[in-house]
Amino acid sequence: MDFFAGKVLYFNKPLGWTSFDLVNRFRYKLSRKLNVKKIKVGHAGTLDPLATGVMILCTGKATKRIGEFQYQTKEYIATIKLGETTPSFDLETEVDQTFPTEHITYETVQEVLKSFTGTIQQIPPAFSACKVDGKRAYKMARKGREVELKPKTLVIDEIELTACNLPVIKIRVVCSKGTYIRALARDIGAALQSGGHLAGLERTRVGEVTLDNCMNPEQIDDFLNEIEIEIKDN
């Protein structure tokens, strides 16, 4: 297996890890195995630290394929807590406002979810990697600065209500590149005349790659020991 010529690998990113934590862990172990100081490793699609699931890593010349994977359809399972909002739209920050939920029913949730299917406009979270005047939005937001982001056009192919234990709901979302599920949680809460934030997120598919195809970080050593690696002289 030639990692310099390029390989595409599938991982299940653990809770609490950044996307770069996973990239750095694999690159470190791969470099040691190859006995080299440097090898290209990149990922195709960021996952927040509080999210888990499918992440595609590319090595060597395969990093040129990152854009190809980023544009593939993604599927998520999202847990949304209604009646509360947070500045980051997830559990990274504390609840800042509470709202009534007594008027929300299974039927109203189903009806509201239908309105998010298809081509929609979405304002990204302030706590995101989007750039404003050349600066990352999340860096400004964490300093308490106002961040104004423009709406983006994206496509939601499917939304399915998989569990409804109000005020908590669970949904399956199939969507295009650039969709912020945290922002979707915010918008669903607002559409229900309440609030909402993301309480859990798992990416279950990227293109045709599912969790069944993925390895966990603790399996990296065994993986590198079991395969036949082509060693490059450096």
Active-site residue set: 48
What whole-number distance in Å separates Cα of residue 109 and Cα of residue 104?
Answer: 7
Residue 183 burial (CB count, 10 A): 19
Regarding predicted confidence, which is higher, 202 or 137?
A: 202
Q: pLDDT tens digits for 102-131?
A: 999 999 999 999 999 999 999 887 766 677
In this structure, what token pair is assigned to residue 150? Answer: 């423009």
Which range among 15-19, 71-75, 149-153, 222-226 shows the weakest confidence by mean pLDDT? 149-153
Residue 82 has pLDDT above 80, yes or no: yes
What whole-number distance in Å separates Cα of residue 132 and Cα of residue 148?
Answer: 8
Question: pTM of the full predicted structure?
Answer: 0.90
What Å distances lie between residue 61 and 32, 39, 103, CA to CA?
19, 10, 54
Cα within 13 Å of Cα(73), Cβ side: 9
Question: Given pLDDT bands bounded at 50, 70 and 90, which one contains residue 234?
Answer: very low
What whole-number distance in Å separates Cα of residue 160 and Cα of residue 168?
Answer: 14
Those residues whose C-beta lies under 8 Å from the C-beta of residue 184, and which sit 6 or more positions away, are 78, 116, 122, 156, 173
Which range among 189-193, 196-200, 226-230 shows the weakest confidence by mean pLDDT? 226-230
Those residues whose C-beta lies under 8 Å from the C-beta of residue 127, and which sit 6 or more positions away, are 87, 88, 89, 92, 93, 137, 138, 141, 142, 182
